[in-house]
Chains A and B, each alone.
Chain A
Amino acid sequence: MTQKLFLFVASFFISTLTLASTSVNDEMGVFTIDSVPDRVVVLEFSFVDALANIGVSPVGVADDGDANNLIDAISSKVNPWTSVGNRYQPSLEVIASLKPDLIIADPDRNASIYEDLKRIAPTVVLKSRGETYQDNLDTFVKIGTIMGQETAVKARLEEHHQRMDTLAEQISSNFRFQFAVANERGLWMHGPKSYAGSVMERLGLRVATAEERETAYIATTLEQLLNANPDVFLLGEYGETTIVDTWKTNPLWSLMSATKSDRFYEADPRLWSLNRGMIAAELMAEELVELINKP
């Protein structure tokens, strides 16, 4: 009996040693992988940030066909990658040809090809599009766990929070802040449920659309913008001309608190909206410090 028990315990230990599998909860349930992945393909920008923070270079990124969609602060930390196409329609052929052993996908954009992705490589589905600051940190921990880098994750998180706290101390402000993106068709305010909004709240700032807890990206007309009436307004513009060009000629535009007090700023939409992650959050915080402490 004792011998049997011993054998059982011994075999149990051996099996856990040889099959050192890792599990994390993902958007599809539980994701399990048997070994630390080496070749990673990511289908959203925020995952590149997460990998860069633990010193892993993805072999493929859905970068919308242009590596410059990632800010230098992130892309300089990783090796050059192969583009796998658009984030919303990544090329399955290119992903397969990179022979990945891990694919990190977004539940919103990539749900329809989940089955195909799983046929190529183990696929973990983690929140990216429309995520908050806290979601992003949770995703970072999960990616770190999968990559077998718990210690590095812990150290980096600690460093990040210290950095954010230091920056937060430098920007105590009673102003109501707002970030928005605009293109030719419209303008969307990023409320507290969005990444930019939740970073502002992390820094102890008030967001002008603080009551909007339902939608992350709020479709906005000029009148609605005036109603939100931010004291500091940051705008990320996609494209040469946007709807704001016409708004600027409207008398209402100059009635906004931010424009009246000359606190309307152009911001890089890549940094403020596309490249969600700790590196971006720290840079956003630095930009805010600079804007507020400007004489």
Chain B
Amino acid sequence: MRLMSVSIFLLLMWALLVSLSLTQGAVVLSLSDIWSVWQQGTLTEHFVLWNHRLPRMIIATLVGMSLALSGCMVQSVVRNPLASPDILGVTSAAALAVVGLLIYWPDANVHWIPFAALIGGFSAAGLLLLLTTKRLAEPSHLALIGLALGALFSAIVDYLLSKYPLEINGAMLWMTGSVWGRNWSHLPLILPWLMVLVPGAIYLCYRLDVLSLGQEKAASLGLKVTHLQVVTLLMAIALASVSVSVCGAIAFVGLVAPHIARFLMGGRHFPVIIIAMLLGAIILLAADIFARAIAPPLEFPAGIFVAMIGAPYFIFLITRYKHW
């Protein structure tokens, strides 16, 4: 019942943000404008609403959901409150792949960027699993090796950025994590993944609840622990890679959303996952609205605002919550 009431509250909040997202910005529309544009718009308003704001709103929502879900799953495998998709090295590997693409194949079509990111993310994940499968009994190893890999990839990215400052402008922008310039063509890059992985995550919820009792207890209850850990990690990595490939590196959603969800819902995975996804969508959507409405016509990367909204709230939360 608590799940129901919290979800409804969050859905209402999301709906409010959707209406803000569609009406606010450099060109302010009213809700009744939206209806008339729908019916018969001039070309401009039609573009602003249909080709620009609506896909952007949907992408922000889906990427927020995806990052939050990824965070939930990483945290349940690593069983460490600091765990988030960022520690898997996926983000920096994706960034490395994109920077490499832009430097060494400058003529490559921009539409390849998401695919490069996806390949980079999955390669890093493969490397990570290769290095850690024997050590999954100690999940902290996973986090540490992931962090080390991430540091290595970031170092290479920094090196390339300082060596080729000119070629890199687009890459910098992409890495800050932005929903700017995203349109309908980006939707197929994320929607199919979520349609498979969200039901998959829900299916795993019960097993993850058992896992949270501790690995030994879970194993004695008949759970294939390593198997479950690898599958969960793969799903988390896929979700993180897909998000990065669409919006670049947006830190913090994957860390904050699961924590708030757990704070609200307790330890069971099913309610936590549902609420975390809603929260992720809300956080990223709110950040994007801020990013483009704060000083139009200037647009800022939403990633900056995620941190600006997320970090203080996270600190507040941590100081209030004592049940680690």
Contact = CB atoms under 8 A, between A and B. Distances in A.
Interface of A: 64-65, 82-86, 88-94, 96-97, 99, 108-109, 111-116, 119-120, 129-130, 186, 188, 215-217, 219
Given A85-B298, A112-B110, 4 more contacts: A94-B26, A112-B113, A217-B165, A217-B166
A92 B52 CA distance: 8
A215 B295 contact: no
Contact of B296 (A94, A109, A114): A94
A82 B44 CA distance: 16
Contacts of B174: 112
Given A86-B298, A89-B180, A96 B48 contact: yes
6 contacts: A89-B301, A91-B299, A92-B52, A97-B48, A99-B43, A113-B181
A91 B181 CA distance: 9
A278 to B, nearest CB: 23
A197 B299 CA distance: 32
Contacts of A89: 173, 178, 180-181, 298-301
A88 B169 contact: yes
Contacts of A99: 43-44
B165 A96 contact: no
A130 B166 contact: yes
A184 to B, nearest CB: 14
- In terms of DSSP, what is the predominant structure of the interface of chain A? mixed
A114 B109 CA distance: 11
A91 B165 contact: no
A177 B15 CA distance: 60
A91 B297 contact: yes
B170 A97 contact: no
Given A93-B26, A119-B47, A217-B165, A88 B173 contact: yes
B299 A115 contact: no
B298 A108 contact: no
Contacts of B169: 88, 108-109, 129
B162 interface: yes
Given A94-B26, A111-B110, A116-B181, A215 B166 contact: yes
B166 A129 contact: yes
A115 B186 CA distance: 12
A112 B181 CA distance: 7
Contacts of A64: 298
B292 A91 contact: yes
B164 interface: yes
Contact of A91 (B26, B113, B301): B26
Given A115-B183, A188-B165, A215-B166, A93 B27 contact: yes
Interface string B158-197: 0000111110011001100010110101000000000000
A82 B173 CA distance: 24
A93 B166 contact: no
Interface string B291-315: 0100111111100000000000000
Interface in B144-160: none
B25 interface: yes
Interface residues of B, number: 34
B198 to A, nearest CB: 28
A215 B106 CA distance: 13
Contact of A85 (B53, B183, B297): B297
A76 to B, nearest CB: 23
B297 A216 contact: no
B51 interface: yes
Contacts of A216: 166
Contacts of B301: 89
Interface in B16-59: 25-27, 43-44, 47-48, 51-53
Nearest to A98: B44
Contacts of B164: 215
Nearest to A91: B297
Contacts of A120: 47
A65 B27 contact: no
A192 B162 CA distance: 20
B54 to A, nearest CB: 12
A91 B298 contact: yes
Contact of A119 (B51, B165, B295): B51
Residue of A83, A89, A130, A217 most packed against chain B (CB within 10 A): A89
B170 A94 contact: no
Contacts of A85: 26, 296-299
A93 to B, nearest CB: 4
B150 to A, nearest CB: 22
B178 to A, nearest CB: 7
Given A111-B110, A119-B47, A94 B162 contact: no
Contacts of B113: 112
